[in-house]
Amino acid sequence: MPGNILEANNISKTYGGVHALDNVSMCIKAGEIHCLVGENGSGKSTFVKVMSGAITPDNGEITLNGHTYRSLNPIDSIREGVQVIYQDLSLFPHMTVAENISMNKMVALGKKLVNMAEVRKTAEEQLARIGETMDLDCPIDEISMANRQLVAICRALSLDAKLLFMDEPTTALTNIEVDRLLKIVLELKEKGLSVVFISHKLNEVFEVADTITIFRDGRKVGDFNSKELSYHSLIYHMTGRNVEYPRYVRKATDDNIRFEIRGLSRPGHFEDVNVKMRRGDILGITGLKGSGREELALSLFGLNPSKSGQVIINGKTVSIHSPTDAIVSGLSLLPEDRYTQALFPTHSISENISSASLPSITTKAGLLDRKGERQNAINMVAKLHIRTPNVETSVQNLSGGNQQKTVIARWVLTDPEVLILDGPTVGVDIASKVDIYEQIQSFASQGMSIILISDELPELLANCNSVMVMRANKVVGFLSNEELEKPDAADRLQSMMSGGGDDFQPSIPVLEAQA
């Protein structure tokens, strides 16, 4: 069939009896943007790996540019113009922009010697194709995440990509950077490139997609024209059920101020932050990446010392210089990056849960109360619906959602007055998300004060009874419970985050300077 760059027919792949891909067929047209959506474990990544030749399917055949392959190997795949940009980008951090762009091409051409002039020329040409310029001699680890993403695109283009797979390309980018990236993707499409875009951020999917293919449990649910789908129907197809996030209602009657931030500042990170919270309040803090929200959270947790201002818990000014101080003062933080900042992958669920409460499970004789540790873990597993055979299982064997619940359990066990959750549902599938929201709300109902840091508006609207917006290190807005219930709340938050709807403000260089 002309016009199709890729046709996959009846692809199946099983691992240990489980269907990672079950009889999946799909076509990708030349010059279209095709989005793959589905929950974690639904088969998207396996599909990409099959198309790149990294894994061989048990059944099925793949046709690329009219050539049919029963088993595709990586070299054939590249020769047919398939390029994959993985989430980690696979760049060389200590090598220059020019080398990173050109390296794969040099290897593919079978070069033996390095011709620096040619390396630079290739890099310049590819950057020109996407209409960007960069310092070619700058090492990758000194440029912003957005520019790294562009380098990875240029590298793929240098290899004459006809079909570009992008796996979660926007996760680490700020909204403005995302817009720039999506604009480039749309331009590439105009030039005839096919792009397969994998993203959890559904608004982005709707923004760029021509066709959306939905995966669930290793099967293809269907191909949809993006105009046919609504947000709700998309989620319905992904999860197989209608998902409604319950809206939080504060029930506590004690209106005394329990937690207060007064004029907290750290120039360049956050300035003059003022917050007052009661029992059972869920305060949302939102803003773009680099707006100061994460810096503020780390500061409250003792990892980013503030220059001035006070933090007051239960009427007492506390001085927090380390996470230990924070926990003792009744303040806990669920960090944003689960894998690097929270998990002990080979340790058991029980040890992961107890890790922030070691002092409280230590007996007077200075010994760990292993029985108590286990019992705590069992209680938490039940409370948070963590799906696991037992508490001795190591967390690396859990799904992303259950790992996240384990980490939340760790912080709940410290019995904090104030619990800060930084991106509690990043990389978590929708079913677990609903679970986590229910738990957050139930903890608040039991009296905990919760600060929820997020840039997912539905998440904020469902869970918070007030939201604070940060932009460029300052608090720029505040929405009360009543304002959040109005239909324009999402739009208001969005415009406050990005600066009054002004899409063309030149804030990328500013953000880069901070990175």
Partner 1 sequence: MITQMKKFIRQDTTLTVLLGLLIFLILLFGSILQDKFFSFDNIQSMGYQIPEFAFLALAMSIAMITGGIDLSVVANANMAGIMAGYVLTGAVFGLNSGMSDLTLVIIAILVALIVATLGGVFNGILIAKFSVPAILATLGTMTFYNGISTAITEGKGVVGFPDNYLSIGTSAPLGIPLVFYIFFIAFAVVAFVMVRTPFGQSIYLYGENRIASLFSGIKNEKMIIKTYALAGFLSGIAAIIMTSRVNSAKYNYGDSYLLQAILVAVLGGINPNGGRGKVTNVIIGILILQILQSAFTLFAFSPYAKRMIFGFMLLLIMVINFIIDKWGARSKSIAKDSEVVPQEAK
Partner 2 sequence: MKRLKKYINQNEWYLMGIILIYSIIVTTQNSGFFTLENFFDVLKGSSGMIILAMGILVVLLSGGIDLSFTAIAMFGGYSAARLMMATKIDNLAFAFVVSAVIGILLGAVNALIIHKFHLPTMIATLGTSSLFSGIMTTFIGTKTITVGMMPKSLRAFGGFRLFEMVNDAGSTYGLTVFIIPVVIVVVVTWFILYKTMLGRGVIALGNSEEAAKRSGFNLFWIRMFIYTYVGLLAGIMGVIYVAEVNSVYAVALYGTELTYIAAVVIGGAKLTGGEGKILGTLLGVIIVRLLNSTLVFLGLTSSWNGFFTGAVLLFSVGLTSYMSRLRSRRNLTFTD
Chain residues binding partner 2 by CB under 8 A are 78, 86, 88, 90-95, 99, 103-104, 106-108, 111-114, 137, 294-295, 298, 303-304, 341, 515
Contact partner at residue 241 from partner 1, partner 2, none, CB < 5 to 8 Å by partner kind? none
Q: How far is the CB of 99 from partner 2 (least distance, A)?
A: 7
Q: How far is the CB of 65 from partner 2 (least distance, A)?
A: 20
How many whole angstroms separate alpha carbon 481 and alpha carbon 70?
58
By the 10 Å C-beta count (0-12 exposed, 13-18 middle, 19+ buried), 312 is classed as middle
Q: How far is the CB of 420 from partner 1 (least distance, A)?
A: 11
Q: How far is CA 467 from the centre of its chain?
A: 21
**Which of 303/378 has CB closer to partner 2?**
303
Q: Which residues pair with 286 in a beta bridge?
A: 469
What is the DSSP annotation of 211-247? EEEEEETTEEEEEEETTT--HHHHHHHHHSS---PPP
Q: Decide if residue 304 touches partner 1 (CB under 8 A).
A: no
In three-state secondary structure terms, 145 is helix
Q: What is the DSSP letter of 84?
A: E
Stretch that binds partner 1, among 1-9, 141-149, 331-339, 505-513 (CB under 8 A): 331-339
Q: Does residue 132 contact residue 150 with C-beta atoms inside 8 Å? A: yes
Q: Decide if residue 41 touches partner 1 (CB under 8 A).
A: yes
Q: How far is the CB of 43 from partner 1 (least distance, A)?
A: 6
Instruction: Give, as ranges, the residues between 134 and 153 that touch partner 1 (CB under 8 A).
Output: none
Q: How far is the CB of 365 from partner 1 (least distance, A)?
A: 10
**Stretch 311-330: interaction string toward partner 1, x if CB under 8 A:** -----------xxx-xx---
- Binding-residue total with partner 1 (CB under 8 A): 53
**Which of 91/444 has CB closer to partner 2?**
91
Q: Which residues pair with 63 in a beta bridge?
A: 7, 68
Contact partner at residue 87 from partner 1, partner 2, none, CB < 5 to 8 Å by partner kind? partner 1
**Which of 157/440 has CB closer to partner 2?**
157
**Stretch 346-385: interaction string toward partner 1, x if CB under 8 A:** xx---x--xxx-xx--x---xxx-x---------------
Q: Decide if residue 399 touches partner 1 (CB under 8 A).
A: yes
**Which of 40/514 has CB closer to partner 1?**
40
**Which of 137/482 has CB closer to partner 2?**
137
Stated as kind and residue range, the H or E segment containing 275 is: strand 270-277
Amino acid at 85: I
Contact partner at residue 45 from partner 1, partner 2, none, CB < 5 to 8 Å by partner kind? partner 1
How many whole angstroms separate alpha carbon 146 and alpha carbon 174?
8
How many whole angstroms separate alpha carbon 497 and alpha carbon 492?
9
Lookup: tokens for 19? 């269907």
Among 45, 63, 454, 465, binds partner 1 (CB under 8 A): 45
Among 256, 262, 263, 220, which residue's Cα sits nearest to residue 238? 220
**Which of 85/261 has CB closer to partner 2?**
85
Q: How far is the CB of 509 from partner 2 (least distance, A)?
A: 18
With vertex at residue 434, the alpha carbon angle to CA 252 and CA 330, rounded to the nearest 5 degrees, is 45
**Which of 49/433 has CB closer to partner 2?**
49
Q: How far is the CB of 117 from partner 2 (least distance, A)?
A: 13
**Which of 130/303 has CB closer to partner 1?**
303
Q: Does residue 405 contact residue 384 with C-beta atoms inside 8 Å? A: yes
Q: End-to-end alpha-carbon separation of the chain, Å?
A: 47
How many whole angstroms separate alpha carbon 245 and alpha carbon 434?
6
Among 277, 333, 377, 469, binds partner 1 (CB under 8 A): 333
Stretch that binds partner 1, among 123-131, 243-251, 273-281, 338-346 (CB under 8 A): 338-346
Contact partner at residue 95 from partner 1, partner 2, none, CB < 5 to 8 Å by partner kind? partner 2
Lookup: tokens for 160? 């004459």
**Which of 299/465 has CB closer to partner 2?**
299
How many whole angstroms separate alpha carbon 510 and alpha carbon 515?
9
Q: How far is the CB of 367 from partner 1 (least distance, A)?
A: 5
Q: Who's near 18: CB < 8 A, 6+ residues apart?
A: 218
Contact partner at residue 113 from partner 1, partner 2, none, CB < 5 to 8 Å by partner kind? partner 2
Instruction: Give, as ranges, the residues between 213 and 252 that touch partner 1 (CB under 8 A).
Output: 218
Among 3, 17, 110, 487, binds partner 1 (CB under 8 A): 17
How many whole angstroms separate alpha carbon 144 and alpha carbon 173?
9
Query: How many residues in total does the chain contain?
Result: 515
Q: Does residue 106 contact residue 119 with C-beta atoms inside 8 Å? A: yes
Q: Which residues pair with 83 in a beta bridge?
A: 164
What is the DSSP annotation of 158-199? HTT-SEEEEESTTTTS-HHHHHHHHHHHHHHHHTT-EEEEE-
Q: How do 4-15 and 270-277 pair as beta strands?
A: unpaired
With vertex at residue 58, the alpha carbon angle to CA 56 and CA 59, rounded to the nearest 5 degrees, is 110
**Which of 86/236 has CB closer to partner 2?**
86
Residues that bind partner 1 (CB under 8 A): 15-18, 20, 40-46, 87-88, 168, 218, 301, 303, 322-324, 326-327, 333, 335, 338-347, 351, 354-356, 358-359, 362, 366-368, 370, 396-397, 399-400, 410, 414, 427
